[in-house]
A and B are shown apart, each in its own frame.
Chain A
Amino acid sequence: MTAQASAVIVTKGLTRRFGALTAVDSLDLVIEQGEVLGFLGHNGAGKTTTVRLLNGVLTASAGQARVLGLDPASDGVALRRRTGVLTETPSLDERLTAREQLAIYADLYDVPRSQVSARVDELLEAFQLADRGDDRVSGYSKGMRQRLALARSFLHKPELLFLDEPTSGLDPVSTRQVHTLIREQSRSGDHTVFLCTHNLEEAQRLCHRVAVLEHGRLVAIGAPAELGRNLWQGVRLEVETSPACVELASSVIHAFPAARDVTLAEDRPILTLALADREQIPQLVERLAAAGAPLYRLDPQEPTLEDVYFALHGEQEATR
């Protein structure tokens, strides 16, 4: 398999079967150095299995992969020295303290002995665990556990980070902090982040590109905006009318055959709706004008990743 010089992950036809179930199906991926790739998919779509395959802890049933220039199947130990993984469940030892866990994993990841203590302190500080560093994890909240698991994945300064739902269970402040850390990782251009997430807003905010996995198959990959343009032909509109004519405008829009997902803002005379095609906008404007509903503002919105995701999801379900 020929890999591009700057590619950190290259897979070709990567497949993993468990009996009759194909968890990952002919996956072709190229991920560049410094990229933050969002790996989207519902539960059981094959995200975690892909992370396992790319770290050499699970062997492929078919296909090939090169990660950081190494074959995960045969160079797993050398590869895992350069990758950091935040697993879906924090996988922490409840009976150990945060400091003990980090020190033990520093040994496992071969962090130079002289640096272990300083590195552990640095991470406890960075992840706001310094004051509870000597407490056992059994007394930690869900957010603290997630932060500790994240700190552990950063311990050996990996070149490639696999983060499986990194902000799951975190409060908004911690979530923002994790987002900042992910951005910092990729900013230098040396680190690559493989981000498995259900959180479409997070993916849109952080990822250079997103890959959408459905029943083990890659159904789309590209920059969020690019996917929006290519895969979601529809348009979401915000329509502002006069307070006195909200009900009239609402009835016109509801009666418009192409309009979907019509909602009315609680405190303002603004209606939002989705149209399958931009070409339908003039017809809607004509109908509103004919009915005598004044149009103060009509604002077409950029499609969100959520629009794309659900459009893809619906398409896949329809073809099954």
Chain B
Amino acid sequence: MNRRAILAIVRRDLLTVSRSKGVMYPLIIVPLILMVAMPAALGYFMPASTRAPNVNIGELEQFLAQMPATLQAQFATYTLEQQLIVYMLLYMFAPLFLVMPLMVSTVIAADSFAGEKERKTLEALIYTPTSDMELFVGKLLSGWLPAMAVSLISFVLYGVSANLSAWPTMQHIFFPNAMWLVLVFWVTPGAAALGMGAAVLVSSRVSTFQEAYQLSSIVVIPIVLLVLVQALGVIYLSVALTVALGVVIWIAAVALLWWGVRTFRRNEIIARW
């Protein structure tokens, strides 16, 4: 593998992406809302909400009592306010965090594959002395690296935002726990790869960035379902379940990328133009 050529493709794509407002705005705004503003608001206002006159404390206690035993054991030493904060900021937000790698990778991959087709800029790249695999790896890294960077920065911002806003109630640093570390360092890279794989698959069948981005965003649906089933108390993201979730995501990502490697052929791409 020609590392210099791969890095040149990554540099080219990152420069291109970083200068597109249509790509950069969602990459900046979504993490700020989801990973900074929302946890800050929840951490700050949630304890006060339990003291609101129309809140039925009994219902809240009943809801928390439905949580799995291991979670309840963890909550045992916490006040009701602290339990709500830990539940919301440690568990309910965990699946939402996966939106970061998925969103970033699909946005960039859609721009990198379908967008390039739309702008007619791929042909010059195709005539370079790079192999199909080098081209593919270069384009994958162009999406995967920023997805990981945005996710890691979001993780740090989220940690700061959650701990600071909840400090008056928690009085200690409660974030991250082991499950979050598994989520960030095991599941997130897989989710970023899954987003890339989905975008590559979709980009081979559509011709514009918008179409590719909208269609490949479907991969976010399982994440929304995960948030729902957790909110309903059906499951919660324990360390074991997060590891298992990572395995499923990695299998799906590898399958999609394996398909992508097999179909990303100059010959095929050129023939379809």
**1/0 per residue B106-140: CB within 8 Å of A?**
00000000000001111111111111000000000
Given contact pairs A77-B130, A89-B123, A108-B5, A58 touches B271 in the complex (Cβ within 8 A): yes
* Additional pairs, 11, CB under 8 Å, beyond known A58-B271, A59-B267, A94-B121: A80-B127, A87-B123, A91-B123, A92-B124, A96-B15, A96-B16, A108-B8, A110-B2, A110-B4, A110-B129, A149-B124
Which of B122, B131, B270 is close to A77, meaning CB atoms less than 8 Å apart?
A: B131
B51 within 8 A of A: no
Between A81, A92, A95, A152, the greatest number of chain B beta carbons within 10 A of the residue's beta carbon is seen for: A95
- Inter-subunit contact A100/B15 (CB<8 Å): yes
How far is it, in angstroms, between the C-alpha of A120 and the C-alpha of B66 when the chains are bound?
67
- Inter-subunit contact B121/A92 (CB<8 Å): yes
A315 within 8 A of B: no
Binding site for A on B (CB under 8 A): 2, 4-5, 7-9, 11-12, 15-16, 19-20, 119-131, 266-267, 270-271
A245 within 8 A of B: no
CB of B14 to closest CB in A, whole Å: 11
Which of A95, A100, A107 is close to B7, meaning CB atoms less than 8 Å apart?
A: A107
- Inter-subunit contact A57/B126 (CB<8 Å): yes
**1/0 per residue A89-113: CB within 8 Å of B?**
1011111100010001101111000
Q: 29 pairs across A/B with beta carbons < 8 Å? A: A52-B270, A55-B127, A57-B126, A57-B270, A58-B271, A59-B267, A77-B131, A79-B129, A81-B129, A83-B127, A85-B124, A87-B124, A89-B120, A91-B120, A91-B121, A91-B123, A91-B125, A93-B15, A93-B121, A94-B119, A94-B121, A96-B12, A96-B15, A104-B8, A105-B8, A107-B4, A108-B8, A109-B128, A109-B129
How far is it, in angstroms, between the C-alpha of A94 and the C-alpha of B118 when the chains are bound?
12
CB of A9 to closest CB in B, whole Å: 16
- Inter-subunit contact B4/A85 (CB<8 Å): no
Report the contact-size class of chain A (Cβ under 8 Å from the partner): 20 to 34
Chain B residue nearest in CB terms to A105: B128
**A291 CB contacts on chain B under 8 angstroms:** none
**1/0 per residue A39-62: CB within 8 Å of B?**
000000000000010010111000
**B122 CB contacts on chain A under 8 angstroms:** 91
CB of B6 to closest CB in A, whole Å: 10
**B120 CB contacts on chain A under 8 angstroms:** 89, 91
How far is it, in angstroms, between the C-alpha of A81 and the C-alpha of B16 when the chains are bound?
24
